[in-house]
């Protein structure tokens, strides 16, 4: 974090951040163009169905481009905020989060310190997110065959066994418990007709 | 007022409503404690469970989750230096320091008592102010309503944090998402790309479940989970000196939190930071703040609870949510066929006053639960997150289906989950997006009506005194912070140049 009294170093902002903001700018531009197509104004200069898409699209486009410029020009320096002193506190508090000063780990090796409570280091952590998104997508894709509850239970089991590498028995018991809980709450208590898929089991 | 209060008491203290109020605050406390599951996520995930209830019972339970999570979030901040909710981030400073100094129990007690005091004071304020504000708002026409929505959006963008531009982008993105489907007041389908599923829009709750539940859970995996509790409860009793020192900061925090909470969009997080800042800059024990001082716990705790309650004033009286979570609650009102706003107090007194009285009951339950049972709740923090988050994913998806009753809602949750994850990862604030999403249809409705009233001239906003005041306030809230920031940077740069020249 950059101290306010220091001159901010103009370093390159993370590419992913720039790309993400550029995508938002593109979304804004798209909304702007589409908005004109819907009709910006109606007869008598009244607001048309495209008015709000044009205005909001314009805001997104301009603010995203300004944000990208800010990232390059004032990287590490903050600005445009209402309350300076609350930001100092926020920075301190954010820095304090998770700083539990555990004596068991304080003197340990660097590699141990980098492991989180899932037992992962940074790289497997990123892979875990991709895996979870992939499993989620797969569960939604098999839902027309397995039904909602079974496909999501399979998702839970896969996440616990494959991503989290937990032992088989507790994982199966946990997935079965989740299935039973969801069935009792949504199907039995609330009477929600959940899709049963081609299998038609539950 | 007294008659309404009596109606409220009769509604709130039925065994059925008391039971669900208890369930709400208990679930809220647990959810608030779990890292990555704040009040917004809790309300969004558990909203489907209330579908079979009476509207008043459902709203009592959902509101209980909201303020219950404020208490729960403090427990994890104090014990593991990890906030369950953004409004408790500041407690990781003095709260955790107190815990490390062997005063974990005292920190938890001060936190619970301050929260309760703030809740009672702010609820009296809420009851006193909400009805007159609603009465006043009955005079509002489309220009006034449009102006106040613009003020709400401008406020939340101003308070979005260190980068206002990201707040603007997110508020506009929320508005844009709300425009998918057939435009209100027109027959034009927008951004549907020929899909029948998109004609009725993207589903507000599905998006929120995606952004908050899926996005937050995955971000938690990215952050790497939390360390286990190391603080011990060597001293569960609060000393007289600690209690005495907490009174003034708690009252100051309550006042500040209540004032900020009444502004649409300001919220509890900002209130907690500001009240902490006040104690550190002006408090009697300002030098001790940051090193485990009771003032650093009492003030922000009181402040965030007061703000949470005060945010119901714009939500109930104007139909404009005061925070991200009240925006979700507003969505819940709509699901139950209730339109919050000035007419709500006239048309549904049992619901409004029952809800308000339930806040008192809920906070009392929380005090009773939290004082002796905080160490018991803390055990929940030991449940491995590896087992917990897949269940959260399952419940979120089934819940989204239950509300939308269509498989398409699940795809919306998935897409919104990806969006929510990247928003968290790259620090794009969620609250402006939620407000944009909720206010989008209302904004467009009043915009079209105002435009028709002014025969195409939107400057009609400046014709009436009320709409002109709100519009000017919105412009000031929107333009003021960047201008102030620019001036501050210039002054700072000038100072640095002068100091360099001296050296």
Tell me: the pLDDT tens digits for A1-11? 334 444 455 56
SS3 at position B190: strand
SS3 at position B34: coil
Give the pLDDT score at B126. Answer: 92
Q: Do residue A47 and residue B448 have CB atoms under 8 angstroms apart?
A: yes
ipTM for the assembly: 0.83
Q: Which stretches of B336-407 are DSSP H helices? A: 342-347, 349-378, 385-404
Find residue B163's DSSP bridge partners.
A79
- Of A58, A35, A185, the closest CA to residue B49 belongs to A185
The rounded distance, in Å, linking the Cα atoms of A5 and A57 is 37
Residue B324's Cα: distance from chain center in Å? 4
| Chain A interface disruption, residue of B390, B392, B437, B449, most A CBs within 10 A | B390
Give the pLDDT score at B351. Answer: 92
| Chain A interface disruption, residue of B165, B277, B381, B412, most A CBs within 10 A | B165
The rounded distance, in Å, linking the Cα atoms of B365 and B71 is 11
- Model confidence at A104, pLDDT cuts 50, 70, 90, reads very low
- Of B311, B341, B318, B297, the closest CA to residue B119 belongs to B311
- Model confidence at B371, pLDDT cuts 50, 70, 90, reads confident
- More confident of the two residues B478 and B303: B303
> Looking at beta carbons, which residues of chain B come within 8 Å of A75?
none
Whether residue A98 is predicted with pLDDT greater than 50 in this model: the reply is yes
Whether residue A179 is predicted with pLDDT greater than 80 in this model: the reply is yes
Whether residue B462 is predicted with pLDDT greater than 80 in this model: the reply is yes
Whether residue A23 is predicted with pLDDT greater than 50 in this model: the reply is yes
Q: Which residue has the tokens 């209980």?
A: B64
CA distance B103 to chain A (A): 15
Give the pLDDT score at B248. Answer: 94
What are the structure tokens assigned to B301, written together? 């705790």
- More confident of the two residues A103 and A187: A187
Give the pLDDT score at B42. Answer: 86
Give the pLDDT score at A125. Answer: 79
- Model confidence at B228, pLDDT cuts 50, 70, 90, reads very low
* Highest mean pLDDT, choosing among A119-128, A179-188, B286-295, B368-377: A179-188
Q: Range with the lowest mean pLDDT among B64-68, B82-86, B387-391?
A: B82-86
- Model confidence at B111, pLDDT cuts 50, 70, 90, reads very high
Whether residue A83 is predicted with pLDDT greater than 70 in this model: the reply is no
Q: Range with the lowest mean pLDDT among A57-61, B177-181, B462-466, B495-499?
A: B495-499
Give the pLDDT score at B450. Answer: 95
Mean pLDDT rounded to a whole number for chain B: 87
Q: Do residue B188 and residue A38 have CB atoms under 8 angstroms apart?
A: yes
Give the pLDDT score at B143. Answer: 95
Q: Do residue A182 and residue B398 have CB atoms under 8 angstroms apart?
A: yes
Closest residue in chain A to residue B448, using alpha carbons only: A47
Q: Do residue B90 and residue A93 have CB atoms under 8 angstroms apart?
A: yes
Give the pLDDT score at A107. Answer: 43
Residues contacting residue A124 through CB under 8 Å, at least 6 positions apart: none
Whether residue A108 is predicted with pLDDT greater than 70 in this model: the reply is no
Q: Cα separations (Å) of B503 from A3, B496, B497?
A: 20, 11, 10
| Chain B interface disruption, residue of A89, A177, A202, most B CBs within 10 A | A89
SS3 at position B182: strand
Q: Do residue A81 and residue B270 have CB atoms under 8 angstroms apart?
A: no
* Highest mean pLDDT, choosing among A165-169, B211-215, B231-235: A165-169
Give the pLDDT score at A79. Answer: 47
Q: Convert the pLDDT of each residue in A37-72 to its tens digit.
A: 999 998 888 999 999 999 999 999 999 999 999 888
Q: Which stretches of B34-103 are DSSP H helices? A: 39-46, 55-80, 91-98
- Model confidence at B172, pLDDT cuts 50, 70, 90, reads very high
Q: What is the CA radius of gyration of chain B?
A: 22
Q: What percentage of residues in chain B have a pLDDT greater than 70?
A: 95
> Looking at beta carbons, which residues of chain A come within 8 Å of B81?
96-100
- Model confidence at A118, pLDDT cuts 50, 70, 90, reads low
Average confidence (pLDDT) over B128-148: 91
Average confidence (pLDDT) over B179-190: 88
- Model confidence at B419, pLDDT cuts 50, 70, 90, reads very high
């Amino acid at each position: 974090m950059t101290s306010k009294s220091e001159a901010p170093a103009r370093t390159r902002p993370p590419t992913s951040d720039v790309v993400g903001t550029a995508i938002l700018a593109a979304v804004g531009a798209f909304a702007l163009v589409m908005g004109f197509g819907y009709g910006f104004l109606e007869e008598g200069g009244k607001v048309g169905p495209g008015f709000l898409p044009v205005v909001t699209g314009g805001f997104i486009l301009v603010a995203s481009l300004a944000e990208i410029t800010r990232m390059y020009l004032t990287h590490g320096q903050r600005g445009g905020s209402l309350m300076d002193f609350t930001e100092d506190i926020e920075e301190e508090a954010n820095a304090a989060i998770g700083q539990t000063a555990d004596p068991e780990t304080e003197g340990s090796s660097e590699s141990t310190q980098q492991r989180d409570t899932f037992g992962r280091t940074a790289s497997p952590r990123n892979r875990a997110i991709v895996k979870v998104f992939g499993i989620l997508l797969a569960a939604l894709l098999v839902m027309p065959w397995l039904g909602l509850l079974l496909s999501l239970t399979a998702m839970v089991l896969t996440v616990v066994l494959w991503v989290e590498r937990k032992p088989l028995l507790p994982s199966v018991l946990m997935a079965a418990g989740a299935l039973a809980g969801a069935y009792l709450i949504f199907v039995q208590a609330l009477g929600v007709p959940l899709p049963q898929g081609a299998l038609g089991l539950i | 007022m007294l008659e309404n209060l009596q109606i409220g008491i009769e509604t709130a203290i039925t065994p059925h409503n008391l039971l669900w109020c208890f369930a709400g605050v208990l679930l809220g406390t647990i959810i608030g404690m779990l890292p990555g599951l704040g009040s917004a996520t809790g309300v969004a995930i558990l909203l489907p469970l209330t579908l079979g209830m009476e509207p008043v019972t459902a709203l009592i339970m959902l509101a209980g989750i909201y303020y219950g999570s404020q208490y729960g979030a403090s427990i994890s901040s104090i014990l593991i230096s990890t906030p369950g909710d953004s409004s408790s981030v500041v407690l990781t400073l003095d709260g955790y320091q107190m815990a490390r100094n062997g005063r974990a129990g005292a920190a938890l007690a001060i936190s619970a008592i301050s929260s309760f005091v703030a809740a009672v004071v702010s609820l009296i304020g809420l009851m006193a102010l909400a009805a007159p504000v609603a009465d006043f708002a009955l005079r509002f026409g489309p220009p006034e309503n449009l102006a106040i929505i613009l003020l709400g959006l401008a406020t939340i963008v101003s308070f979005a944090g260190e980068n206002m531009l990201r707040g603007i982008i997110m508020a506009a993105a929320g508005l844009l998402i709300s425009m998918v489907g057939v435009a209100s007041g027109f027959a034009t389908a927008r951004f549907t790309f020929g899909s029948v599923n998109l004609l009725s829009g993207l589903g507000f709750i599905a998006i929120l479940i995606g952004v908050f539940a899926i996005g937050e859970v995955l971000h938690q995996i990215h952050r790497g989970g939390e360390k286990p509790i190391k603080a011990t409860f060597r001293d569960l009793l609060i000393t007289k000196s600690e209690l005495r020192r907490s009174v003034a900061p708690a009252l100051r925090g309550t006042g500040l939190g209540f004032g900020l909470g009444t502004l649409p969009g300001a919220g509890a997080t900002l209130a907690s930071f500001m009240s902490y800042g006040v104690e550190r800059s002006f408090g009697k024990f300002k030098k001790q703040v940051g090193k485990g001082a009771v003032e650093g716990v009492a003030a922000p705790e009181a402040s965030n609870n007061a703000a949470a309650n005060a945010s119901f004033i714009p939500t109930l009286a104007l139909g404009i949510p005061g925070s991200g979570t009240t925006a979700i609650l507003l969505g819940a009102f709509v699901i139950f066929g209730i339109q919050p706003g000035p007419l709500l107090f006239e048309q549904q007194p049992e619901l409004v006053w029952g809800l308000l009285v339930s806040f008192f009951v809920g906070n009392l339950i929380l005090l009773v639960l939290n004082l002796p049972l905080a160490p018991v709740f803390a055990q929940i923090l030991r449940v491995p997150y590896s087992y917990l988050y897949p269940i959260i994913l399952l419940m979120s998806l089934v819940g989204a289906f239950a509300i939308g009753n269509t498989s398409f809602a699940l795809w919306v949750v998935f897409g919104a989950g990806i969006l929510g994850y990247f928003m968290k990862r790259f620090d794009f604030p969620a609250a402006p997006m939620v407000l944009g999403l909720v206010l989008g249809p209302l904004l467009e409705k009043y915009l079209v009506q105002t435009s028709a009233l002014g025969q195409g001239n939107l400057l009609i906003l400046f014709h009436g005194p009320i709409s002109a005041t709100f519009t000017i306030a919105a412009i000031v809230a929107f333009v003021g912070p960047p201008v102030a920031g620019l001036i501050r940077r210039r002054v700072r740069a000038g100072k640095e140049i002068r100091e360099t020249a001296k050296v």
